[in-house]
Structure 1
Amino acid sequence: MTDKLVAEVQVAEHPAFDEFVATIEALRAPDGCPWDKEQTHKSISGNMVEEAYEAVDAIEADDVAHMREELGDVLLQVVLQSQIAADEGEFTIDEVCRDINAKIVRRHPHVFGDVAAGDANEVLDVWDQIKMAEKEEADAASEAPQGLLDGVPRSFPALKQAQKISRKAASAGFEWESVDDVWQKVDEEIAELKEAYAAAPKSSNGKIDAGADASAAAAVELELGDVLFSLVNVARKMGVQAEEALRATCMKFRTRWAFMEGAAAGQGRRIEDLSSDELEELWAMSKVLEG
């Protein structure tokens, strides 16, 4: 059934991809580009993150032309890393494609098998169950089993890392029954944050004075982290991506602030020179213009 279904949808060939792979191979050849020949997995690892973020910026801006360019840059990182591996006798781009294809087919039994998944949330549940089974199988075959959370990169943005961590913990049964239960946890964490803040020494502007009591300042920071982590769990239970939600809010704030700066400039003034009431008035206007 799987082979038949895949065969039915894989009707197009991709000569441009093969041409691109050949181009990168030529760059790494003995008579190729001096810079490309010197690169290693680690030397260009940061480029992968940069290009991914630039692609996300284009996606969020609905800039299709720029998106096409940035996705090409992301693909460059995948193909170049694979060519470096091929040169070192580690693996090839074909093996990368075969591995990810096999994983995607394996983790979509509702498409390529007999498992039922009625909506996107049920698909995620199936995905997590399969990943858990894969981990158990890998642990059984390994002398040093990997921890459940070891697969979550520490380099992830904090909100995305928190949501990945909580999702993995939930897949192992460490989970609240309902969103209301998580909201109760949020209220508990907020109360603990307020208590820690009240006990910490503060400057005249209300900010924590870490110099006066470093441990108290650290306690406030940890309690704030607990509040944020709890809110991430609210997002997860609601089926919302916390990282994307906050990015959307940041973009909304940028748009409103740009309007406010433009309005102030139209009056021949700097936004820094406006009063609090004037700033609030411009903020309200920016919200009205959003519709």
Structure 2
Amino acid sequence: MEPTTEDPLAEFVAVMRRLRAECPWKKEQTHRSLARYLLEETHETLEAIDTGDVAHLREELGDLLLQVVFHAVIAEQAGEFDLDDVARDITAKMIRRNPHVYGPDGGAAGSADAPDAATVTEVWESIKATEKGRGRRDHPDAVLDLPPTLPALLYADKVLNRLERAGAAPPTAGDDLGDRLLALVAEGRRTGIDPEQALRDAVRRLP
């Protein structure tokens, strides 16, 4: 059965509401029980990106959207929030964290002088730190609100980013394997290379 409306997203939400009401398996699911599927679909989306398969990427983005909508429908039925709330929140966040486009008060006019990408990133991180109540120069804050389940290289990259912004010196390679890996992540940051992606690409090149 193909979608029948001109608003595919609204139709999809309606489908998920019905499935949640009428499908025994979907009735039983919770945010926690669905967590593994969110992780799996995220990794499958990364696989599609790595292979450059656009059709596969389209499919996997749909599977990711399924997870977002499923969680939103569960929350909606519990009277917590719905998909519109999720959309409103992320829209407000994007406007708030991009003052070069929307202006400091979230209006329609941004800065006449568009900043470079590095400045945009710095402003984004500064606004994010303020929103989350993190002091920019407080080193212990470097690991606050970072999910411990992040891949190790990505986790290290984010911590180093925060420490650099706080004025800390980059790590140097030591004898310990972990120290050497951390130094390589720092090197990747200096050269503009994503260490997580670099390692994934290297593994793909193996015979």
One-letter code aligned to 2:69: V
1:18 aligns with 2:15: no
Within-5 A mapping of 1:1-291: 15-29=7-21, 32-113=22-103, 114-115=110-111, 118-136=115-133, 147-176=141-170, 185-186=172-173, 189=174, 193=175, 223-253=176-206, 257=207
The CA deviation at 1:148 is: 4.3
Distance 1:175 1:100 in 2: 34
Question: 1:147–1:86: structure 2 CA closer, same or farther, 3 Å change rule?
Answer: farther
- TM-score calculated relative to the size of structure 1: 0.61
Deviations along 1:78-111, whole A, 9 cap, x unmatched?
0001111111111111111111111111111122
Distance 2:24 2:183 in 1: 50
Is contact 2:97–2:127 with CA below 8 Å preserved after alignment?
yes
Aligned length: 191
Structure 2: gaps (5+ residues): 1-5, 104-109
Distance 1:107 1:237 in 2: 25
Task: Report the identity percentage.
Answer: 44
One-letter code aligned to 2:26: D
RMSD: 2.0
Distance 1:171 1:49 in 2: 30
The CA deviation at 1:33 is: 0.4
Structure 1: gaps (5+ residues): 1-13, 140-145, 177-181, 194-222, 258-291
One-letter code aligned to 2:194: Q
Q: Which of structures 1 and 2 has the bigger CA Rg?
A: 1
Question: 1:118–1:240: structure 2 CA closer, same or farther, 3 Å change rule?
Answer: farther
Distance 1:112 1:238 in 2: 31
The CA deviation at 1:60 is: 1.1
Is contact 1:232–1:242 with CA below 8 Å preserved after alignment?
yes
Distance 2:144 2:15 in 1: 36
The CA deviation at 1:41 is: 0.4
Distance 2:96 2:115 in 1: 18
Distance 1:123 1:21 in 2: 34
Distance 1:151 1:61 in 2: 31
Tell me: higher relative CO, structure 1 or 2? Use CA pairs within 8 A at least 6 residues apart.
Answer: 1
Question: 1:76–1:43: structure 2 CA closer, same or farther, 3 Å change rule?
Answer: same
